[in-house]
Each structure stands twice: as C-alpha cells, then as structure tokens.
C-alpha cells in the first residue's frame, strides 16, 4: 500500500474533519487525528503496538517521529502517545509513549520518552530530553538534557501557545487550497 496512510493488522489511521497529512509523511495503524490537525513532510508515526491520538488544531512538524510502547504483563496499558489540543510539535522532535497536554510547544529536536507527561501550558526548549516518567508541570519553560524547570511562563508566552497552533491551522488550510487547485 502506498501513500501516507497505511494499515497495520487491519487498523487504518482515522482523520477528523479538515485534517492535513502531507504526502511525504507516513502514518501507520491505530492513529486518530482530530479536527484541523496537521502532519508535515517526513513525519513518521507508527501506531502499531499501541495507539496514537492527536488533538484538535495540533501540528506535528517536519521530520518528527512518533511511536508507542507495547502492552505487556508488567505494563498492561503499555504507553500510548497522546497529544492534546493546540499543541505545536517542532521540527525533528521525537515523542515515544508520552502524554502531551493542551497548549504545549515542544521545541525542535526535543525528545520525550515513555511515560513522561507534559501538563497543559508548557514550553519545552529545543533539543531538550524528557526522561521516562518525568512530569513537566503546567505554566513553566523547561530546557536541557535532562529537562529542568527553568522559569514560569510569561502571560505573553501563555497567550502565544494557542496562537502558534492557529498559525499552523491557517498554513495547513493554505496547503489544502493549493491541493484543490491542482
């Protein structure tokens, strides 16, 4: 099967309304994208041994990798990958079996590992590493490897989080219009 959407063991990615998936990306298996989500070139997402959910108006930028952890006797739920609403995942980020809240910005090249949780209204700096099981509390900037709380977010930064997501909704709408013209 060719194209960006691929089945795995009979499960095919599910797309909500007005979703953009770039033809140069690959989404496999149990993946669901909610309204106005966007997937950009060279994103690889495998919902093969668990599921991936991407919320409304969230975007996953170029070169990012999304994966999950298998269910087992010691971990009956495994680690699915859950991305909330109004989330911006920067270029070349790697998310593995973690949970991202709403209105979060994940910087370029960041790595977030199994069981990590980024609560709502968080900014994770470019190149940061979030170790397995770590919780990043709402309202803060985190940077480093391993990621550490740097400072509280300013009111302007908190206001920017949904604005960043809205910018990508507008951009994907422009891309979708271009596709309709061709």
Residue range 10-29, pLDDT digits in tens: 999 999 999 999 999 999 99
What the block records as the tokens of 173 is: 């709408």
Q: What percent of the chain has pLDDT over 70?
A: 99
Just give the CATH number of 5-181: 2.160.10.10
Q: Please state, rounded to an integer, the average pLDDT across all residues of the chain.
A: 97
Q: What pLDDT digit, counting tens, does each position of 86-104 carry?
A: 999 999 999 999 999 999 9
Buried residues in 96-130 as b, exposed as e (16+ CB within 10 A): bbbbbbbbbbbbbbbbbbbbbbbbbbbbbbebbbb
Measured between its terminal Cα atoms, the distance across the chain in Å is 23
| Domain positions in the chain | 5-181
Distance, in Å, from the CA atom of 149 to the CA atom of 84, rounded to the nearest integer, reads: 21
Give the pair of three-digit tokens for residue 133.
């099981």
Q: What is the mean pLDDT of residues 71-90?
A: 96
Mean pLDDT score, 34-49: 98
pLDDT for 129 beyond 90: yes
- pTM to 2 decimal places: 0.97
Closest among 133, 130, 134 to 147, alpha carbons compared: 130
Burial of 19 (0-12, 13-18, 19+ CB in 10 A): buried
For the cut 60, the answer to whether the pLDDT of residue 168 exceeds it is: yes
Q: Is the per-residue pLDDT at 2 higher than 80?
A: no
Is pLDDT above 60 for 1?
A: no
Q: What is the pLDDT of residue 11?
A: 97
Residue listed under structure tokens 């740097």 = 150
What is residue 13's three-state secondary structure?
coil
- Count CA atoms closer than 13 A to 45's CA, side-chain side: 38
Residues 45-55, mean pLDDT to the nearest whole number = 98
């Amino acid at each position: 099967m060719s194209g960006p959407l691929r089945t795995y063991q009979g499960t095919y990615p599910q797309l909500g309304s007005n979703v953009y998936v770039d033809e140069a990306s690959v989404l496999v298996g149990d993946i669901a994208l909610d309204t106005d989500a966007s997937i950009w070139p060279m994103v690889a997402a495998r919902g093969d041994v668990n599921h991936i959910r991407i919320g409304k108006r969230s975007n996953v930028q170029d070169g990012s990798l999304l994966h999950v952890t298998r269910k087992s006797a010691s971990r009956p739920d495994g680690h699915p990958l859950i991305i909330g609403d109004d989330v911006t995942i920067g270029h070349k980020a790697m998310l593995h079996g973690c949970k991202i809240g709403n209105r979060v910005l994940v910087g370029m090249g960041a790595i977030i590992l199994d069981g990590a949780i980024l609560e709502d209204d968080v900014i994770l700096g470019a190149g940061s590493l979030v170790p397995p099981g770590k919780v990043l509390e709402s309202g803060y900037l985190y940077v480093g490897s391993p990621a550490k709380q740097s400072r509280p977010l300013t009111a302007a930064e908190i206001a920017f989080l949904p604005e960043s997501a809205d910018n990508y909704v507008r951009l994907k709408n422009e891309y979708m219009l271009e596709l309709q013209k061709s």
